[in-house]
Amino acid sequence: MWKRIFVVVCTSTILSSFGTAASPLYGRADLAVKHEWALVPHKWEWQGPAPANHHVDLRIGLKQGKLDELIATLYEVSDPIHARYGQHLTKTQAEALVAPTEETTQAIHDWLDFHGVDLSSIAYSPAGDWLSLQLPLAQVETMLSTKYHTYRHLETKDTVVRTLSYSLPRALHDHIDVIHPTTMFGSMRDFRATFHVTDDSARSDTVVASNGTTVKGPAGQDIPVSCNTTVTPACLQALYRTEGYVPKAANKGNRIGIAGYLEQFVNFADLQTFFTMFRPDAVGANVTVISVDGGLNDQTMPGDEANLDTQYTEGLTFPTPNVYYTTPGTAPTINDSVTPPQRDEPYIDWLQFVLSHDDMPQTFTTSYGGDERACNLFAQLGARGASVMFSSGDGGVGAGTCGTNDGTNRTIFQPVFPATCPFVTSVGATFHIAPERGIDFSQGGFSVYFPRPLYQEAAVPPFLNRLGSTYAGLFNPAGRGVPDVSAQGEGFQVVVGGRVESVGGTSASSPTFAGIISLLNDFRISQGKPSLGFLNPLLYSVGAPAFTDITLGNNPGCGTPGFNATEGWDAITGLGTPDFVNFQELLGRL
C-alpha cells in the first residue's frame, strides 16, 4: 500500500522557539533538504502524528576526516601482492583516520548549542565520528525542520516514528553524513528471513544415518550420502576438507565472533547436546557470551539463529574460542509510558563496541542488517585485521522488495545491505553434494548504492557478458556484485530446546564459511603470520583457484527465474565454495 504524504513545516515559527537571535548560518533561508522520500517506503503505512511525549535517541554520523586514506590503507594491507599485505592498523591508527576534523566537530557543536542542546550530554564513539544524545521529539523537529509521524509495517506490525524528509543548514551538509532516526525505515525483523526451519513437523532427536554409503566430492574425498539432505559438522568437514585439521593457535589469540540481536539467545545446554550428538570431542567446551549495552542471554529462551550460529562455528572450529555478542535489539517500538525505548539500530552499538577494544576476534559472522553508513565501520574492522562475513540474504534476486521507492514503482532487483557493502564478504547458499548447487533462495545481484569495487573488475564482467540483454533495466550492472562466495545452506541439524530442528538459510552459510576462515586464520597465526583481515582482494585474485566452482542452480524472484549459476563468478554462488586444503597450500606461499 502506497500513500503520498505532504509535510508542511513553518520554519520561522520553529526557529523562533529557541530565541529571537538570528543566525546567518542556521537561519531559515539557509536550510536545504538532506534526504527525503517521494512515497512512504514499501510495506509501511502512515498511522498518524507522533506521540507528543516521544523522545528520540538521536545519532549523528559526522564526516570522517581521512576516510579515503583509511580505505586506501585497507586495500593495501588486504592485497596479497602489495608490499603492505598483512600490516594491519592498530586501534589508535584507525581512529586517527576516521576522526572528524576540528572544523566539523566545532560546526556541529555550534549548531547543537544554537538549538539549546546541552553539549555535556553528548556521548561519542571512540573516534568521535558518531554523536549520540536523547532529545524531546519537538526539539528534534525544530533542528531538522521537519515533522515526525507514526508508521506501521504491514507484515510485522512493527511501529516506528519516522519522517519522510529532513533538512539541515547548507553549511552542515559537508560535515554530517547521516542522522538517525529520520528517513530510514528498515526493520531488523526483516532479517529473520535469513533462516527457516525446513521440516518443523518432523522434529526428532535423531538424524538421517548414512549407513556407510558415501559419494565422491570435487576433490575425490568421501562424503556421506546422507549429507545430501541432512547437514552436520561432519558433512561440512568432509565436503570442505577441514577434516583432520586440529587448530593450534587457540592459545595465541585466534578467536571467532558471532553477532546476535533480536533477543536471540545462545543456550548452553543445547550446545552440549549438540556436541554429544555431532562433535563428541568438544563436550564440555562453551562459547563466551559478551553483553553489549546491556544485552541479555536468557537460558529459558533458546534461539534458532543463535544456536545455529554458535553450534556450527564451534562445531567447525573447536577448540578455537568462540565469542557471542548479545546486543539488545528488537523490532522498533513507540517510546511512551507503556512501551520500552526504541532499540531498532543496535548494529552501530555492536560495531562501536568491538572497535572500542584494542583486541578483538579475527573472524566475524552475522546475519542482520543496518544503515549504509555502517559500511565505513566495516572498513575499520578490515583495516585492523578482521574478516567479516555476512549472509547474502534469502530473497533470490528481489530481497522481498521488487519495487523502487522513487514514485515510479519500477521493478528492480535489490540485494540487501550489509551484504552489498564492498568491505565485507557476502555468503550465498548451496545445497546437495556431488555436485553442489546454488539454492533458489540464495540472494544475489548488484547494488544500486555501491559501485563495483576494483577487486571485482576481472570476475564480474564475464558473467554480465554471458547474461547479455537479459533483465536489462532490472538491475545495476555497474554495482557491487553479491554474493562473493557461498557454502551449504539447507538441512542443518540444530539443537533448540533439547530437540533437533532442520534449519536452512544463508544464516547457515555465513557461519560455515566464517568457521573455515577462522581455521585458515589459525593456520596463519600458528606460522607466525598475521590474520587474513579483509578477504575480498585475496579471494578475487590468487585465492580464486581455491574455490569449487558451482555451475548449477538459479535464484528466482520479482516474477523472473533470476540469475543462473555459471562458470566463474555468478550472482547466486559468487566464486563458489571453499576448499580448505587448497587454501592452506595457497596461504603457505604468502
Annotated active-site positions, please? 305, 309, 507
The helix (H) or strand (E) run that includes residue 317 is helix 304-317
Which of 534, 490, 493, 481 shows the shortest CA–CA distance to 509? 490
Known binding residues: 549-550, 568, 570
Angle at 556 between CA 554 and CA 560, to 5 degrees: 120
Q: Which stretches of 145-263 are DSSP H helices?
A: 233-239
Collect all residues with Cβ–Cβ distance below 8 Å to 169 and sequence separation of at least 6. Answer: 25, 26, 27, 30, 31, 32, 111
Known binding residues for Ca(2+): 549-550, 568, 570
* 117/104 Cα distance (integer angstroms): 17
* 335/343 Cα distance (integer angstroms): 10
Q: Are 372 and 538 in contact (CB under 8 A)?
A: no
* Structure-block grid coordinates of residue 328: 539488545
**Is the bond into 181 cis (omega within 30 degrees of 0)?**
yes
Amino acid at 236: L
Which of 110, 252, 215 shows the shortest CA–CA distance to 172? 110
Place of cell 586517527: 96
Q: In this structure, what is the dihedral angle of CA atoms 87, 91, 94, 99, given to the nearest 10 degrees?
A: -170
Place of cell 541439524: 493
Q: Are 228 and 432 in contact (CB under 8 A)?
A: yes
CA 375 to each of CA 241, 348, 399, 445, 467: distance values in angstroms, whole numbers, following the listed order = 32, 10, 19, 18, 29
Q: Are 371 and 180 in contact (CB under 8 A)?
A: yes
